[in-house]
Amino acid sequence: MSDTASKSHGRKSITASLKPRSLMDGPERLARAWSAQVITLVPDAFPGILGHSLTGKALKDGLWQLDTIDLRGFGEGKHRNVDDTPAGGGAGMVLRADVMGRALDHALPRAPKGAPLVYLSPRGTPFTQAMARHWATRPGVTMICGRFEGLDQRVIDHYDIQEVSLGDFVLTGGDLAAQAMIDATVRLLPGVLGNEASTEEESFSDGLLEHPQYTRPAEWHGRKIPDVLMSGHHGEIGKWRRAMSEELTKARRPDLWANFLNRDD
């Protein structure tokens, strides 16, 4: 690979070199930041939106780290080709198994132990808040962003890669999906959001959509903030919010509502 194929964002080099290897096991291991590795043909698109706002601050503060691996660096021949025509014919190009295999053989030894290996794919398991919560408990994640018609199936089978979808639509590449999923995961890491409680009360955290939110001014275009929210009665406010959550979920997401009614707790 070329020297420029891998790029680190955040404070990885500082945090990784502070301690000798023997100290990385046990409790010291926890001190290592959550780490996302992304194999992509557009490394310049990273950190992208993740470099801004709360995720960007957390990246600078070393609460997580991001490494992009440029697939082009593992390409074939002088032109570093990464794709070829689909076996059996048809439109478009497919990412080659040997090229992605080399990128993975470079990436996997550098991934923290226990990090899920994910291929962003419209055919994958739909991404959920529960998946974000699970990934946040892992030491990081390794993601493969597809392009063109996608990735040779043999790579997915050989490395036993989990396919995850951002939703039932087709993007031109996996990069936006990767950034969306990393965002959803990183904001759950301790210390990333200012107010820890805010991830416990938001949409999906208890299987329901969130209640409506309001802020000043108290009246706008003749519309008032609901009286109960201005009442200062925390019990009543809680009840109202819960009722609104249930009503919205029932009306908008019968699938979530059915799961909520069937929950075992």
**Contacts to ligand SAH by CB under 6 A:** 120-123, 145-147, 149-151, 165-167, 169-171, 173-174, 177
Q: Write the DSSP symbol of residue 78.
A: T
Neighbours of 64 (CB within 10 A): 25
Backbone angles phi, psi at 154, to 5 degrees: -65, -30
Q: Least distance (Å) from ligand SAH to the CB of residue 123?
A: 5
Q: Least distance (Å) from ligand SAH to the CB of residue 83?
A: 11
Q: Which amino acid is at 219?
A: E
Q: Write the DSSP symbol of residue 2.
A: -
Structure-derived torsion over alpha carbons of residues 111, 25, 59, 141, reported in degrees to the nearest 10 = 30
Cα gap 207→176, rounded to integer Å: 25
Q: Which is nearer to ligand SAH, 115 or 177 (CB)?
A: 177
CA angle 89, 93, 94 (to 5 degrees): 95
Q: Which is nearer to ligand SAH, 67 or 152 (CB)?
A: 152
The string over 9-18, giving b where at least 16 C-beta atoms fall within 10 Å of a residue's C-beta and e elsewhere, is bbbbeebeee
Cα gap 84→226, rounded to integer Å: 59
Q: Which is nearer to ligand SAH, 51 or 122 (CB)?
A: 122
Cα gap 34→94, rounded to integer Å: 31
Residue 224, both tokens? 């008032």
Cα gap 156→101, rounded to integer Å: 10
Q: Least distance (Å) from ligand SAH to the CB of residue 162?
A: 12
Residue with smallest beta-carbon separation from ligand SAH: 146
Q: Which is nearer to ligand SAH, 13 or 153 (CB)?
A: 153
Q: Which is nearer to ligand SAH, 92 or 212 (CB)?
A: 92
Q: Which is nearer to ligand SAH, 38 or 208 (CB)?
A: 38
The H or E element that residue 17 is part of is helix 12-17
Cα gap 210→205, rounded to integer Å: 9
